Structure formats: structure tokens, C-alpha cells
Amino acid sequence: MNEALLRQLVPAVIGVLVRRGADFASAEDAVQEALIRALDSWPQDPPRDPKGWLVAAAWRKFLDATRAETSRRGRELAVELEPPAGPVPADDDTLRLYFLCAHPTLPQGSAVALTLRAVGGLTTRQIAAAYLVPEATMAQRISRAKRRIAGASFDQPGDLATVLRVLYLVFNEGYGGHVDLAAEAIRLTRQLVALTAEPEVSGLLALMLLHHARRASRTGPGGRLVPLAEQDRTRWDTGLITEGVAILQAALARDRLGEYQAQAAIAALHADAQTAAETDWAQIVEWYDELLLLTGSPVVRLNRAVAVGEAQGPRAGLAALADVSPDLPRYAAVTAYLCERSGDLERAADLYAEAARAATSVPERDHLTREAARVRQLLRR
């Protein structure tokens, strides 16, 4: 049994413990300890019924912990709540676990960490490594998050929109250490798709798959950023693209459009183009219009200006920037690009340099610095 398969069992096992009367925080702790034991002993001694093994081990851990806390109460619990013999019920409370971990009262960072642990089954050490913080720090964040939702009922969870936002956050964190958070987010979103019939969940999964398909081509040697137009499209993962498009089409057919479906539609149109020049920018602009209606987001407005610039020419793109706030991240970079295309190289170079100074990641800064250098070289010719 591989680790991913083992982790898949975690939310169901927490659900069983909670249904048997454990509070969420203790159940989660107990399952973590059982999980660490399983990772340790299963390679030599694989159980016949993995889920049953985990439930039994976690339940023992839970009882031990409860006994240690108050020995008298613990003994009573142990008698009262001794699990019935026989197979573990197949249905689980995984969906409610998703909602609980993404509870609206939790700060986003805590919701992400808790989701990775309780639903994703990652150990605190793995989550800490992914976020490049010390394990003790991550342990604190997680226990604080659990304390915070201690009063939240397992039956009155948060909303789906928050769950989707948390999963998308995980996806966008990328990867560090041994845990690939993008792949983890896809795994969890797949699980969520199986649990709900909401088209936006499928929309988010499609979006992740379509982005993920381009991942290998997004960076060059030494982590250098490669912009979409320059990416080697033969390196795109056609399997993921086909799957993403199929999931998206099924979701769109349900006729309940949401922002993730609209974003996935844009990603699908990019994926569909054999070369950058064949991109159907007119249709992309239409999807940005939909997205703007759905979200009213200034970032969408900014990205729409890029699409307008491609579909109707750089001057139209610059005109579309008129009602976008210059304070937005990437505003200077977008303006620089449109200026360059419209032939205003002087302004483009200055704006690329300005964008580089304001960049929030090293690869982005290096890329924009190089763009400024490139345009200035054109000017010198």
C-alpha cells in the first residue's frame, strides 16, 4: 500500500471517530498518531483491512489520550464507547470534514494547514516542510486552528465557496520539500468532486488540471519563468488537458456557471491552441466578460485588458486598462506589454523596470528585469 492510498483513508477514519463520540480535535490527533504508526509498520506488515486497522489504532490512541487526561472519565468512556465489532461502515463524513476544516472563522493559512492534515492526511512535518517553516511552528498553527473550531458543530459546517478557495490556495502554493501541494490539491479536489454534485467543484478540478498540464513548460533552466506565449507546447500534458476539458464540459452542461468554470474555460482555450498565435482571444475576452459579471474582481479586469489587447489590438487593450486601478499587482507589467506591442518602447522599458521592482517573487522579478533589458536593447538599435 502506498502512502497516497493510506492518506486517502484519513478523513473517513476521523469521521468514524467523531461519530463514535470523539471531539474533532482529539479524533484528528489520534488519527495522526495512528497514521504515523501505519507509515512505520505497514511496509513490513500490511494489514488485510487498512481502514479497519486505522480505525482500531486511532480509537485506541483516542482512548489512551482521554484516559491520560482524566482517568476516571476515560474509563467510563472506554466502557461506554467501546466500538462494536465487525466491519467499519463504508459511508463516511468526509464532506463535513472538508467544511469544518475550511470553517469561515479560521484564517486562510490555518484553514489550509488543517485541511492538509485532517482531510489530506499529511503529517505536521510534511506540511511544515511544504511551507518551509519549523515543524513546531506548524504544530502550533494547527492546534490553534483546532482550538478555534472546537465549538463549531460537526453538523453545521462552513460553505462550499470557502472550501474551494482553500483548495485553490493549496494548489497555488506550488511545492516545497517532498510534498507537491499542487498534486495534493488536485487529489483532494478529486475526492470532493466524488462527494458533491456542485458544478463549481468540477470547475475547480478542471482549472487545476489544465494549469497543472502546463507546469513542466512554465519554467526553464534554473527556475527561469517562461511566459505562456513562449512555452514549448509539446511539453504540455495532453492527458491532463483532455481530462480537464471533459470535466469542464460536463460541468458547463449543467448550466450553473461559476468563477472556477469560467476560469477553466479560459485555460481550456489556451490549452486548445497548437501555437500561441492560434489562441482564440475573441472567445477568451467573452469568458473574461462572464468572469467579470460573476466576480467584479479588479484582477479579472486587468487580465481582461491583456485578452482585449490580443483580440482587438494593443490600443484597445490600453483603453481597457482605463478603469483598472494602477495599484494592482502586475498593473505595470501588463501596461508595459501593451505599450511594447503598440510601439511605445521607451515607456515599455520603464514600466517593465518598474514592474520588476514591484514583483513579489524572484523568478517574476528576474523575468521582468530581463524584459526591460530586452526592450532597452531594441531601443539602442
Partner 1 sequence: MKYLLLKHYRGGPTPAVDYPPMDRWTPEEVDAHLQFMRDFAARLEETGEFVETQALLTEGAFVRSGGPGQPPVTDGPFAETKDLIAGWYVIDVESWDRAVELAGELSAAPGPGGKPICEWLEVRPFFAAAPAE
Residues contributing to the site for partner 1 (CB under 8 A)? 222-224, 349, 352-353, 356-357, 360, 362, 365-366, 369-370, 372-374, 376-377
CA distance 83 to 52: 11
What's CA 174's distance to the chain center, in Å?
A: 8
Q: Which is nearer to partner 1, 144 or 376 (CB)?
A: 376
**Closest CB 368 distance from partner 1, rounded Å:** 8
Nearer to partner 1, 74 or 363 (CB): 363
Query: In this complex, which beta carbon is closest to partner 1, that of residue 64 or of residue 366?
Result: 366
Owner of C-alpha cell 472519565: 73
Shortest spacing between CB 20 and partner 1, in angstroms: 45
Beta bridge partners of 175: 180
Taking the least distance from each CB to partner 1, the nearer of 287 and 331 is 331
Rounded to a whole number of angstroms, the minimum distance from the CB of residue 350 to partner 1 is 9
* Of residues 72 and 381, the one with the C-beta less far from partner 1: 381
| 341 vs 376 by CB, closer to partner 1 | 376
Instruction: Give the C-alpha separation, 2 to 74, whole Å.
Output: 34
- First and final C-alpha spacing in the chain: 62
**Cα distances (angstroms) measured from residue 25 to each of 16, 66, 298:** 13, 12, 39
CA distance 183 to 170: 9
CB of 177 to partner 1, least distance (A): 13
Residue 1 vs 373, nearer CB to partner 1: 373
Nearest-approach distance from CB 178 to partner 1, in angstroms: 17
Q: What is the DSSP letter of 47?
A: -
CB of 359 to partner 1, least distance (A): 8
In whole angstroms, what is the distance from residue 106 CA to residue 30 CA? 22
Percent helix / strand / coil, the chain, rounded to 5: 70, 0, 25
Cell numbers standing for residue 76: 467510563
b/e map of 12-48 (b: 16 or more CB within 10 Å)? Answer: bbbbbbbebebebbbbbbbbbbbbeebeeebeeeeee
Determine the longest span between alpha carbons in the chain, in angstroms. 86
Phi, psi for 272 (deg, rounded to 5):
-75, -20
- Select 69 or 346, whichever has its Cβ closest to partner 1: 346
List the beta bridge partners of residue 180: 175
User: What is the smallest separation between the CB atom of 276 and partner 1, expressed in angstroms?
Assistant: 20
Least separation in angstroms between CB 357 and partner 1 = 6
Minimal CA–CA distance to 31: which of 148, 96, 114, 91? 114
Nearer to partner 1, 151 or 221 (CB): 221
Nearer to partner 1, 27 or 372 (CB): 372
**In the complex, minimum distance from the CB of residue 123 to partner 1, in angstroms, rounded to a whole number:** 23
Backbone angles phi, psi at 94, to 5 degrees: -60, -45
Q: Look at residues 133, 103, 132, 135 and name the one whose alpha carbon lies nearest to residue 36.
A: 135
Minimum Å gap between C-beta 224 and partner 1 is 8
